[in-house]
Structure 1
Amino acid sequence: MQDVPRIIKAASLRHLTLGLAALLVLAITLALPAGPAAADPGDVEAASRGVVRVVIIGEEGDQPVPISHGTGFAVSPTRIVTNAHVVSEATQDDTLRIGIVPPEGKGGAFARVIAISPRNDLALLEIAKGALRLPPLALAGGNGANLGEVAAVGYPMNVDLAQGLDMADIFSAQPPVKSRGFLSGERPSRQFDTILHTAPIARGNSGGPLLDPCGRVIGVNSFSADSSGGDGEFYFAVSLRELLPFLRSNGVEPTTNTLPCRSIDELNAEERQRLEAEQSQARERMAQRSEEMREVRDKARLTAQMQVLAARENRMALALIALIAAIGAGYAASVWRGDAARTTQARLAAAASAAALVIAGLLWITRPGLAEIEDRVAAALAEAEGGPAPEPTSPSTAAEGDLICTLVPDRSRVTAARTDDVALEWSADGCVNGRTQYGLGKGGEWIRVFAAQEDSAVAVNTYDPATRTLRTDRYLLGAEALAEAREARAAYTPPSCGVSDAARTLGEQQSALIAKLPDRPNERLVYSCTAKAAAR
C-alpha cells in the first residue's frame, strides 16, 4: 500500500504553469460581456446520473483494494469515456482491474478498455455484459466557445479526504461533486484541442464531463494549471473536436444536440405569450368580422324591408282589385238571374265572381308577413358567411387518421432525447396506433404516461386533437425517484382500446403517478402533426 500515493499522483490531473499568460487570459475574460443564463441545476443533476467513479483495483492478499480513481461518463448505456491517464496503469498491468461505481444504488461493475488514445488523453471503456446500464449523456452540437457558464462533474479526492473517507469508501455509490465556472476560451495544447475554463476540478475529476447550461457535454476534464504564487486558477478539458472523432472511430455514435439551450421557465413564458397573441388576434378577427356582419345585416334589413313591404302592398292591391271584380261579377249575376234569355251569362258571371273572390282571398293570405324581413336578413348573413353552417363535429373526430408529427424547435426544450418524427394514428376515442389508449385529464386533454424499464426517464404524452399538437414532457429522475415512478406505473393496468369508459378510467389511474412527478420537466418536445397524405 506504500505505492498508493505514487500511483494516485501518476493518475491525477497534470499541472501546467500559465504565469503571465494566465493573467492576460483572466483580464480578457473579465472584460468580456456576460454569457448566457446560469445553468439549470435540474439539468446538471440529470446529467450526473450518467457520471461514474472509475476505480483502478488491485489486490492485497485475497482482498481487492483501490489503487487510484478518476471519473467517467456514459456515452451509451454500457460505454464510458474517461481520460487515458486514469486507466493507463490498468492497460500495462494485467493484475489491475477497472471498477465502475455508479452515483446511486448498490451495484457496481467491472469494465475493460476497448480504446485508448494517450495523444489526446481519451479512453473508452465497456461495462461487463449485463452488469450495469447507465443513462448516456448528450454532447452539445457546437464547440461551446461562447464564454458562457459551465459545470464540472466528478469525484475530486480532496472532497473525499475532507469528508474523512478512506480509499475503501470509494467502492460505495456516492453522488458526484458539481462545480460552476465559465469558459475562458479554446486553445490547443501541445498535442490536442482543449477548452479553458474556471469550474474548479481536482485530483479525481479526471475524465469527468464539462457541461453547458443544459447539461450537455462540451468537453472531458483533463488537467489544471499550476496556481501557485497567487496566479489565477484555470482548468482544461479535451474538446469535442477530439472526442467526437475518437468515439466515431470506435463505433460509438453519441447523442448530440444542436438546439438552443433555454429553460423551461423561458419556454413557458414564450408559450403564454404565444397563446395571448393568438387570443388577441382571434379577438381582433372576431371584432372585425362582427363589424363586417353588422354592416351586412343592416344592409340586408334595409333591402328586405323594401322588398317585403313592396311585395306586401302589391299583393294587397291585387287582392282589392280581385275583390272589386268579384263584387261586380256577383252583382251582374244577380241582375241576370231573373232574365231567362241571360241565364248562361248569369252563371258565367257567378262563376267569375266566385273565382275572383277566391283569388282575392289567396292574394291576401299569401301576402308576405313582417317576419319574412328577419328570414331574409338571416339568409343574407348565412350567404355572407359562406353558406349554411356545417353540422357540428367534435375535434377528436376532425383529427382522426394517420398523422406524421414533426418537432417544433421553437416550442421545445431538448437536452438528450431523440427528435425523430413520430407516426401517430389517432382515433376519436383516444386510441393511438390501434393499441395504446390515452386517458382524459382533468382539463379535458388526452394523456398517456410512460415509464419503460429501457428508458431512464418518465415521459408524459399529451395530445390536443383540435390543434393536432403532440407534447412530450420528460422527467429525468434519479434512480430512487425513477424506481418509485415505475412502481406507481406497475400498480395499474391501462385499459385496452375499445373498452367502455377506457379514457376516463385511465385518466383516474394515471393521476396518482402524475402527482408524484416534479413541478417542471427536464425536457419538453412539442410536435405539430399533419395528415400523412399532406405530409408527403
Structure 2
Amino acid sequence: MKRQILALLAIFALLLPSGAMADPADVSAAARGVVRVVIMGTDGQRIFPVSHGSGFAVTPTRIVTNSHVVMEAVQDNTLRIGIVPPDGDEGAYAKLIAVSPGNDLALLEIVGSNLRLPPLTVSGAGDQDGAEVSAVGYPMNVDQAQGLNMSDIFDSQPPVKSRGFLSGSRPSRQFDTILHTAPIARGNSGGPLLDSCGRVLGVNSFGADSQGGDAEFYFAVSTRELLPFLRDNGVTARTNALPCRSLAEVDENERERIEREQLVARQDLAERAEADRAKRERARLEAELAVTETRENQMAIAAVLLLIAVGGGVIAYQARGTAGQERKFAIASGIAAVALVAALAVWFTRPGLDEIDRRVAGVMQAGPDEGSDAAASDDDDPGAIDMSAQARGDGALTCVLQEDRSRIVGAPNEEVEFAWADNGCVNERTQYGFASGVWSRVFVPNEEAAVSVNRYDPASRTFRTDRYLLGRAAMDEARAARSAYTAPKCGSEGAASRLGDLQGAVTSALPAQPNERLVYSCEEKTQR
C-alpha cells in the first residue's frame, strides 16, 4: 500500500507544472536563516545541551520556533536558550519574547551577539493542495545517523531539507494547521515549511501517529496563526502573496513579450512602408502631370515665339534695301531677334524629366501629410517611449515594479527612484559601469547576505535588479572580490568602462542564475 501511495505521489509530481517544482537554490537561500534552537543547562562547571529543536529568522535578530521547543526553559529559569546558525562559528544566546502554547508558537530574540540572520519571507498566497513543499530543520535521527552526540549540536551544521506535498488545511489541537508529507522528525519542530520559492507556509510542529499504518503525514502551524502572532509581538514580517514562478518561466514570458513587440514593430514598419509607397506613387503621378503640362506649355510658347521670329525675319528680309523701308526693317528685325531669343530661352528652360524625381523627393522629405494617421505625434501612441530625458542625458526617474516580468521571492520595493545621466552617474557617488553594451552596478553589502546586480537600459527605460542570496562562504568571496577594487569617481574620464571591467571580478563568482529578478519600468519623475 505504501508503495502505491508513493507511486501516486510521483505520478502527481510529474503532472505538476514546471513552475511548481521547488527550486533548490531558493530552498538553500531560505535555509541560511534556519537555526538550531538549543536548550542548555549547567552544573556550575560546564554547559551541556538538554534538548534542541529548529527555528527561523523573521528579522535579523528575532526567531520563530514552537512553544514546546522552549517550554523547558520557560518552566526552569536556570536553563538558557542557545542559537546555532547554519554556517560559521558565531553562536548566540536568545531571550524569550513571547510564548503561545495555544498555537505552539514562540518568539526569541538574539542577545549579546553581533549575529545577524537573513529573514525568511512568509507566503501570503494561501495553501495550494498538492503543491510541492520542503521542510527544513535539524532532525535528531540524522544527527544520530552521523554519529553526532548532544555536545556536537553546538557546532554549526547545515539544516536538513526534505520534500513532500501539501495535503490540505485543517484545524488540529485547537489551532490552524496545514497537512503535508515532507518528512520531519524530532528536532525539526519549529523549522519552516517552505513553498517552491523558499517562502514560509507554516511552522513544522508534529507528525501524525501512523500506528503501524502505511502513510505518514505531518502538521505545520499555518501562517493564519503565525502572522497574527508576529503582529501582536511587534514584528512586521516580510510577506509575498504573488504566485511562485521559475526564472525559466519568466525568461520565456520575456522572450514572448519581446517577440510580440518585434511583431508589432514589423507590422508598423510594413504599414509605414506601404503608406510611403502610396504617397510616393501619388507624388510621382502629380509630379508627372505638373511637369508634363509645364513642358508642353513652354514648348508651345517657344513654337509661337519661333513663328513670330520667322515672320519678323521674313518682313525684315523684304524691307531690306528698299528705300523708305528702313524703319520697317529695323522694327521687324528687332522683333525677330527678341522672339528668337525668347523662344530659345523658353525651350531650354522647360523642366526635364528628372524634375519629376526632384519633386517626389521634396514631397517625401516634407514628412507625413497633415491630418493623416502617420502624422499623429508619439504622445498619441501608448507604446511610444518618451526620449526627452535621454536626449538631455539626465533626469529624475520613477521606476515601477512590473510583476508580470519579474520573479519575486521576497518583499521588494514597489518603486525605485534615481536620477540618470548619459555618463552612467546616478548621483555624485554612484557610478554605473558599462561593459558589453550594458550599464550595471554591483552592490555587495556588509550586513545583508545578498549580492544585487542592477542594470539600466536608457533606450527602453528598464531598470532590473538580479539578487543572489548567498551562503556565508560565497558571500565572503564576493566581499573579498569587491574590496579588491575602488570604484572610480562618478563622471571621471573613462569611469564607466573601467568600472564595467572591475565589476567582472564579482559577477564571475556569482551563481549562473539569480534567486530573484525584479524588473521596473521607468518614467520621468512627476512633480507633486
Q: Same fold judged by TM-score > 0.5?
A: yes
Match of 1:455 among 435, 448, 457: 448
SS at match of 1:144: coil
Q: Sort the Cα spacing of 1:27 and 1:180 in 2 relative to 1 into closer, same or farther, 3 A.
A: closer
**Residues 1:431 and 2:425 are matched in the alignment:** yes
SS at match of 1:447: strand
Residue 102 of structure 2 contacts residue 175 of structure 2 at CA under 8 Å; is this kept in 1?
yes
Residue 389 of structure 2 contacts residue 524 of structure 2 at CA under 8 Å; is this kept in 1?
no
**Residues 1:105 and 2:85 are matched in the alignment:** no
Alignment match, 2:123: 140
Alignment match, 1:114: 97
Match of 1:247 among 230, 238, 248: 230
Aligned length: 509
Alignment match, 1:403: 397
Alignment of 1:175-254 (within 5 A): 175-254=158-237
Residue 107 of structure 1: how far off its partner (Å): 1.0
Listed one character per residue, the Cα deviations across residues 155-209 of structure 1 (whole Å, up to 9, x for unaligned) are 0010000000111111111110000011111111132111111100011111000
**Residues 1:509 and 2:502 are matched in the alignment:** yes
What is the rounded CA distance, in whole Å, between the counterparts of 1:395 and 1:333 in structure 2? 78
Residue 481 of structure 1: how far off its partner (Å): 0.7
Alignment match, 1:486: 479
Q: Sort the Cα spacing of 1:386 and 1:105 in 2 relative to 1 into closer, same or farther, 3 A.
A: farther
What is the rounded CA distance, in whole Å, between the counterparts of 1:30 and 1:455 in structure 2? 38
What is the rounded CA distance, in whole Å, between the counterparts of 1:350 and 1:126 in structure 2? 121
Q: Sort the Cα spacing of 1:338 and 1:275 in 2 relative to 1 into closer, same or farther, 3 A.
A: same
Q: Sort the Cα spacing of 1:447 and 1:395 in 2 relative to 1 into closer, same or farther, 3 A.
A: farther
What is the rounded CA distance, in whole Å, between the counterparts of 1:275 and 1:398 in structure 2? 27
Q: Sort the Cα spacing of 1:455 and 1:334 in 2 relative to 1 into closer, same or farther, 3 A.
A: farther
What is the rounded CA distance, in whole Å, between the counterparts of 2:341 and 2:420 in structure 1? 64
Residue 434 of structure 1 contacts residue 497 of structure 1 at CA under 8 Å; is this kept in 2?
yes
SS at match of 1:437: coil
Q: Sort the Cα spacing of 1:303 and 1:229 in 2 relative to 1 into closer, same or farther, 3 A.
A: same
Structure 1 letter corresponding to 2:288: Q
SS at match of 1:292: helix
TM-score by length of 1: 0.87
Q: Sort the Cα spacing of 1:327 and 1:240 in 2 relative to 1 into closer, same or farther, 3 A.
A: same
Residue 102 of structure 1: how far off its partner (Å): 0.8
**Residues 1:412 and 2:406 are matched in the alignment:** yes
SS at match of 2:183: coil
What is the rounded CA distance, in whole Å, between the counterparts of 1:526 and 1:312 in structure 2? 63
What is the rounded CA distance, in whole Å, between the counterparts of 2:489 and 2:127 in structure 1? 47
Listed one character per residue, the Cα deviations across residues 15-48 of structure 1 (whole Å, up to 9, x for unaligned) are xxxxxxx9xx999999989655211111101100
What is the rounded CA distance, in whole Å, between the counterparts of 1:259 and 1:171 in structure 2? 37
Residue 92 of structure 1: how far off its partner (Å): 2.5
Q: Sort the Cα spacing of 1:353 and 1:227 in 2 relative to 1 into closer, same or farther, 3 A.
A: same
What is the rounded CA distance, in whole Å, between the counterparts of 2:197 and 2:91 in structure 1? 28
**Matched residues, percent identical?**
59
What is the rounded CA distance, in whole Å, between the counterparts of 1:85 and 1:99 in structure 2? 15
Alignment match, 1:310: 293
**Residues 1:93 and 2:76 are matched in the alignment:** yes
Residue 445 of structure 1: how far off its partner (Å): 1.9
Residue 449 of structure 1: how far off its partner (Å): 1.1
Alignment match, 1:380: 363
Alignment match, 1:441: 435
Alignment match, 1:42: 25
Structure 2 letter corresponding to 1:360: A
Q: Sort the Cα spacing of 1:310 and 1:254 in 2 relative to 1 into closer, same or farther, 3 A.
A: same
Alignment of 1:335-354 (within 5 A): 352=335
RMSD: 3.0
Residue 407 of structure 1 contacts residue 420 of structure 1 at CA under 8 Å; is this kept in 2?
yes
Structure 1 letter corresponding to 2:442: V
Alignment match, 2:381: none
Residue 424 of structure 2 contacts residue 491 of structure 2 at CA under 8 Å; is this kept in 1?
no
Alignment match, 1:10: none
Tell me whether 486-495 or 175-184 shows the greater mean CA deviation. 486-495
Match of 2:276 among 289, 293, 297: 293
What is the rounded CA distance, in whole Å, between the counterparts of 1:470 and 1:353 in structure 2? 81
Q: Sort the Cα spacing of 1:319 and 1:69 in 2 relative to 1 into closer, same or farther, 3 A.
A: same
Residue 128 of structure 2 contacts residue 166 of structure 2 at CA under 8 Å; is this kept in 1?
yes
Residue 350 of structure 1: how far off its partner (Å): 6.1
Residue 66 of structure 1: how far off its partner (Å): 1.3
Unaligned runs of 5+ in 2: 378-386
Q: Sort the Cα spacing of 1:83 and 1:348 in 2 relative to 1 into closer, same or farther, 3 A.
A: farther
Residue 294 of structure 1: how far off its partner (Å): 2.4
SS at match of 1:125: strand
Unaligned runs of 5+ in 1: 1-21
Residue 374 of structure 1: how far off its partner (Å): 1.6
Residue 145 of structure 1 contacts residue 186 of structure 1 at CA under 8 Å; is this kept in 2?
no
Alignment match, 2:383: none
What is the rounded CA distance, in whole Å, between the counterparts of 1:479 and 1:72 in structure 2? 18
Residue 93 of structure 2 contacts residue 112 of structure 2 at CA under 8 Å; is this kept in 1?
no
Listed one character per residue, the Cα deviations across residues 349-401 of structure 1 (whole Å, up to 9, x for unaligned) are 666555545543443343222222122222333456458999xx899427742
Q: Sort the Cα spacing of 1:339 and 1:254 in 2 relative to 1 into closer, same or farther, 3 A.
A: farther
Match of 2:466 among 473, 478, 487: 473
Structure 2 letter corresponding to 1:218: L
Structure 1 letter corresponding to 2:148: L
Structure 1 letter corresponding to 2:97: I
Tell me whether 348-357 or 50-59 shows the greater mean CA deviation. 348-357
